[in-house]
Amino acid sequence: MPTPDPAVLARRDELIDELGKILSLEQIVIDSSALRAYESDGLTAYRQLPLLVVLPEDTSEVSQILKLCSKLQVKVVPRGAGTSLSGGALPLEDGIVMTMGKFNRILDIDYENRCVIVQSGVTNLAISVAVEDEGFYYAPDPSSQIVCSIGGNVNENSGGVHCLKYGLTTNNILGVEVVLMDGEVIRLGGKYMDAEGYDLLGVLTGSEGLLGVITEVTVRILQSPQSVRAMLVGFPSNETAGQCVADIIAAGIIPAGIEMMDELAIRAAENFCHAGYPLDCAALLIIELDGPQAEVEELINVVRDIAERCQSRSFKVSESDEERLRIWAGRKAAFPALGEISPDYYCMDGTIPRKKLSHVLTKMSELSRQYGLRVANVFHAGDGNLHPLILFDANIDDEMAKAEQFGADILKLCVEVGGVLSGEHGIGVEKRDLMPEYFSKFDLDQQQRVKCAFDPEGYLNPGKMFPTLHRCAELGRLHVHKGKLPFPDIPRF
Q: Above 50 in pLDDT, residue 483?
A: no
Are 83 and 143 part of one and the same domain? no
pLDDT of residue 10: 74
CATH of the domain at 264: 3.30.70.3450
Are 209 and 270 part of one and the same domain? no
Span 222-254, pLDDT tens digits: 999 999 999 999 999 988 998 999 999 999 999
Between CA 219 and CA 114 the distance in angstroms is 9
Which of 73, 202, 188 lies closest to 460, judged by CA? Answer: 73
Between CA 116 and CA 110 the distance in angstroms is 6
Between CA 368 and CA 362 the distance in angstroms is 10
pLDDT of residue 44: 72
Q: What angle do CA 439, 441, 442 make, to 5 degrees?
A: 95
Span 104-152, pLDDT tens digits: 999 999 999 999 999 999 999 999 999 999 999 999 999 899 999 999 9
Residue 86 within a domain: yes
Which of 375, 332, 271 lies closest to 148, judged by CA? Answer: 332
Are 306 and 260 part of one and the same domain? yes
Are 312 and 368 part of one and the same domain? no
CATH of the domain at 24: 3.30.43.10
Among 139-148, 156-165, 258-267, 331-340, which stretch is predicted with the lowest mean pLDDT? Answer: 331-340
Q: Is 58 left (phi over 0), alpha (psi -120 to 50) or beta?
A: beta
Are 358 and 407 part of one and the same domain? yes
CATH of the domain at 217: 3.30.465.10
Are 237 and 190 part of one and the same domain? no
Are 372 and 298 part of one and the same domain? no
Are 167 and 231 part of one and the same domain? no
Last residue of a domain, one of 416, 451, 476: 416
Last residue of a domain, one of 416, 442, 465: 416
Are 357 and 287 part of one and the same domain? no
Are 85 and 131 part of one and the same domain? no
Confirm if 212 and 151 have CB atoms less than 8 A apart: no
Between CA 83 and CA 94 the distance in angstroms is 22
Are 31 and 81 part of one and the same domain? yes
Residue 425 within a domain: no
Alpha helices by DSSP H, 183-332:
200-204, 238-250, 263-273, 293-309, 321-332
Q: Whole-prediction pTM value?
A: 0.91
Q: What is the DSSP string of 343-364?
A: SEEEE--EE--GGGHHHHHHHH
Q: Above 90 in pLDDT, residue 181?
A: yes
What mean pLDDT is reported for the chain?
A: 92
Between CA 103 and CA 260 the distance in angstroms is 35
Residue 446 within a domain: no
**Phi, psi (rounded to 5 degrees) for 82:** 75, 20
Structural domain of 20: 6-99
Confidence of residue 464 (pLDDT cuts 50, 70, 90): very high
Between CA 216 and CA 313 the distance in angstroms is 48
Residue 38 within a domain: yes
Confidence of residue 482 (pLDDT cuts 50, 70, 90): very low
Span 352-372, pLDDT tens digits: 998 898 899 999 999 999 999
Question: How many structural domains compose the chain?
Answer: 4
Span 70-111, pLDDT tens digits: 999 999 999 999 999 999 999 999 999 999 999 999 999 999
Confirm if 383 and 164 have CB atoms less than 8 A apart: yes
Confirm if 386 and 379 have CB atoms less than 8 A apart: yes
Residue 201 within a domain: yes
Longest Cα–Cα distance in the chain:
70
Buried b (16+ CB within 10 A) or exposed e, 185-205: beebbebeeeeeeeebbeebb
pLDDT of residue 389: 94
Q: Is 283 left (phi over 0), alpha (psi -120 to 50) or beta?
A: beta
Q: Above 80 in pLDDT, residue 216?
A: yes
Residue 426 within a domain: no
Residue 139 within a domain: yes
Last residue of a domain, one of 223, 254, 278: 223
CATH of the domain at 392: 3.30.70.2740
What residues contact residue 303 under an 8 Å CB cut-off, 6+ apart? 231, 248, 253, 255, 287, 289
What average pLDDT does the segment 38-43 reach?
89
Which of 215, 181, 179, 156 lies closest to 428, judged by CA? Answer: 156
Residue 479 within a domain: no
Are 15 and 115 part of one and the same domain? no
